[in-house]
Structure 1
Amino acid sequence: MAISAMAFFGATQAYADLQITDVEGRTITLEKPAERVLLGFNFEDFIAITGRNALDRVVAISRPVWEGWRSKQYAAYVRQIPQIDQLVDVGDTEGGTFSIEAAIAARPDLVILAAWQFRALGENVAQLEQSGIPVLVIDYNAQTLERHLKSTRTIGQAMGTVDRAEKLATLYENYFNDTLSRIEKSDALAKKVYVELAKKGPSEIGNSYANGMWGGLIDLLGGNNIANGQIENWGPLNPEYVLASKPDVIFLAGSEWLGAPAAVPVGFDADPKQINERMAGYLARPGWSDLPAVRNAEVYALYHGGARTLSDFVYMRWVAKALYPDVFSDVDPAAELKQFYDDWLPISADGVFVARYVPVSQ
Structure 2
Amino acid sequence: MMKLHHFAAYAALSLLALVPSLSHAAGSTITVTDVIGRKVEVKAPVERVILGEGRQIYFVAALDTDAPFKRVVGWRDDFEKADLDGYKDYLAKYPHIAKLPRFGGSKEGTFDIEQAISLAPDVMIMNVEAKTATDDSKLIEKLAKVGIPVVFVDFRDKPFENTDPSMRLIGKLFGKEARAEEFIAFRNEQIDLVTKRLAGANPPKPVVMMERAAGYSDDCCMSFGNENFGKMVEIAGGINMANKIIPGTFGVVNPEQIIAANPDQVIVTGSNWELYVPGGAWVGVGAGADGAEARRRLAALMKRPAFTGVKAVKTNQVHAIWHQFYNSPYQFVAIQAMAKWLHPDLFKDLDPHRTMRTLHERFLPVAYKPGYWVSLSDKE
Q: For the Cα contact (< 8 Å) 1:270–1:351, is it kept in 2? A: yes
User: Which residue number in structure 2 is paired with residue 330 of structure 1?
Assistant: 349
Q: Give the superposition deviation at 1:342.
A: 1.7
Matched, 1:55 2:69: yes
Tell me how far apart the structure 2 counterparts of residues 199 and 96 of structure 1 sit (CA, whole Å): 27
Which letter maps to 1:151? S
User: Which residue number in structure 2 is paired with residue 169 of structure 1?
Assistant: 184
Aligned positions, number = 349
Aligned CA distance change for structure 1 residues 219 and 159 (closer, same or farther; 3 Å): same
Q: For the Cα contact (< 8 Å) 1:90–1:100, is it kept in 2? A: no
Tell me how far apart the structure 1 counterparts of residues 370 and 188 of structure 2 sit (CA, whole Å): 26
Uncovered stretches (5+) of structure 2, i.e. residues with no partner: 1-20
User: Which residue number in structure 2 is paired with residue 213 of structure 1?
Assistant: 228
Which letter maps to 1:271? D
CA shift digits 1:122-176 (9 cap, x unpaired): 1211111111011121111134444111111111111111111111111112222
Q: The residue matched to 2:365 in structure 1 has which SS? A: coil
Aligned CA distance change for structure 1 residues 287 and 108 (closer, same or farther; 3 Å): closer
Aligned CA distance change for structure 1 residues 94 and 199 (closer, same or farther; 3 Å): farther
Tell me how far apart the structure 1 counterparts of residues 306 and 117 of structure 2 sit (CA, whole Å): 55
User: Which residue number in structure 2 is paired with residue 34 of structure 1?
Assistant: 46
Which letter maps to 2:253? L
Tell me how far apart the structure 1 counterparts of residues 251 and 289 of structure 2 sit (CA, whole Å): 26
Tell me how far apart the structure 2 counterparts of residues 100 and 203 of structure 1 sit (CA, whole Å): 35
Task: Map 1:195-274 onto structure 2 (within 5 A).
Answer: 195-200=210-215, 204-233=219-248, 234-257=250-273, 258-260=275-277, 261=279, 262-274=281-293
Q: For the Cα contact (< 8 Å) 1:200–1:206, is it kept in 2? A: no
Q: Give the superposition deviation at 1:117.
A: 2.2
User: Which residue number in structure 2 is paired with residue 339 of structure 1?
Assistant: 358
Q: The residue matched to 1:54 in structure 2 has which SS? A: coil
Which letter maps to 1:308? N
Q: The residue matched to 1:326 in structure 2 has which SS? A: coil
Q: For the Cα contact (< 8 Å) 1:38–1:112, is it kept in 2? A: yes
Q: For the Cα contact (< 8 Å) 2:268–2:319, is it kept in 1? A: yes
Task: Map 1:39-118 onto structure 2 (within 5 A).
Answer: 39-41=51-53, 42-63=56-77, 65-118=78-131
Q: For the Cα contact (< 8 Å) 1:271–1:351, is it kept in 2? A: no
Q: For the Cα contact (< 8 Å) 2:235–2:335, is it kept in 1? A: no
Q: Give the superposition deviation at 1:249.
A: 0.6
Tell me how far apart the structure 2 counterparts of residues 142 and 186 of structure 1 sit (CA, whole Å): 30
Tell me how far apart the structure 2 counterparts of residues 251 and 303 of structure 1 sit (CA, whole Å): 10
Tell me how far apart the structure 2 counterparts of residues 155 and 120 of structure 1 sit (CA, whole Å): 22
Q: The residue matched to 1:56 in structure 2 has which SS? A: coil
Give TM-score, length-normalised by structure 2: 0.85
Which letter maps to 1:213? N
Tell me how far apart the structure 2 counterparts of residues 343 and 182 of structure 1 sit (CA, whole Å): 25
Q: For the Cα contact (< 8 Å) 1:60–1:89, is it kept in 2? A: yes
Tell me how far apart the structure 1 counterparts of residues 258 and 245 of structure 2 sit (CA, whole Å): 11
% identical equivalent positions? 29
CA shift digits 1:54-80 (9 cap, x unpaired): 3021100011x2122112211211111
Matched, 1:128 2:143: yes
Aligned CA distance change for structure 1 residues 205 and 18 (closer, same or farther; 3 Å): same
Q: Give the superposition deviation at 1:274.
A: 0.7
Q: Give the superposition deviation at 1:18.
A: 2.5
Greater CA deviation, 351-360 or 28-37?
351-360
Q: Give the superposition deviation at 1:326.
A: 3.2
Give TM-score, length-normalised by structure 1: 0.89
Q: For the Cα contact (< 8 Å) 1:76–1:347, is it kept in 2? A: yes
Greater CA deviation, 182-191 or 157-166?
182-191
Aligned CA distance change for structure 1 residues 197 and 144 (closer, same or farther; 3 Å): closer
Which letter maps to 1:167? E
Q: For the Cα contact (< 8 Å) 1:247–1:292, is it kept in 2? A: yes
Q: For the Cα contact (< 8 Å) 2:285–2:372, is it kept in 1? A: yes
CA shift digits 1:319-356 (9 cap, x unpaired): 12222223321111111111101211111232411111
Q: For the Cα contact (< 8 Å) 1:23–1:137, is it kept in 2? A: yes
Tell me how far apart the structure 1 counterparts of residues 155 and 324 of structure 2 sit (CA, whole Å): 12
Which letter maps to 2:108? G
Aligned CA distance change for structure 1 residues 213 and 272 (closer, same or farther; 3 Å): same
Q: The residue matched to 1:267 in structure 2 has which SS? A: coil
Uncovered stretches (5+) of structure 1, i.e. residues with no partner: 1-5, 7-13
Q: Give the superposition deviation at 1:291.
A: 2.3
User: Which residue number in structure 2 is paired with residue 10 of structure 1?
Assistant: none
Q: Give the superposition deviation at 1:109.
A: 1.1
User: Which residue number in structure 2 is paired with residue 352 of structure 1?
Assistant: 371
